Amino acid sequence: MASRRVVFRYPRHLIDVPVVSHLARNYDLEFNILRANITPQSEGVMVVGLEGSEENLRQGLAWARDQGVAVQPLERDVVRDEDKCTHCGACITICPTQALYRIAETQEVLFDSDRCIACELCVPACPPRAMQVKF
């Protein structure tokens, strides 16, 4: 089994296309919607965790792209500006998934994008605005 966390961007004319349920039904993928911001008037954005065989993931995401949905790995949309981070730790207790954590030996605060669910709680909590969610 393989897993991916991806951001789907739907142009307005695709808002009604049931992309995620099609992926589940036709490519045997399990899904977990982490965030969804879809309104009929504008572009929709959905953050989804997908799990299935490597081949089904590849084919399913290729199908979504063929429909016109922009598909991007979540780690490209949630980033930390390493030059701005002061390792103050203000984000650590706020982050619900421990994607931000401190290394005891060095006192550095690290960001593990694999654990991030794009909740955005760290963005306002970060004094120098080092955390960026780009959607």
Is the four-CA dihedral 72, 73, 77, 81 of positive or negative sign?
Answer: negative
Nearer to ligand SF4, 15 or 121 (CB): 121
DSSP string, 56-70: HHHHHHHHHHHHT-E
Q: What distance, in Å, lies between the first and last C-alpha atoms of the chain?
A: 28
Count of residues making up the chain: 135
The verdict on 91 binding ligand SF4 (CB under 6 A) reads: yes
The verdict on 6 binding ligand SF4 (CB under 6 A) reads: no
Rule CB under 6 A: which of 27-86 touch ligand SF4? 78, 80, 85-86
Instruction: Please pick, from the candidates 43, 120, 132, 135, the single residue that binds ligand SF4 as defined by CB under 6 A.
Output: 120
Nearer to ligand SF4, 21 or 98 (CB): 98
Q: Which positions lie near ligand SF4, rule CB under 6 A?
A: 78, 80, 85-91, 94-97, 99-100, 109, 116-122, 125-126, 128, 130-131, 133
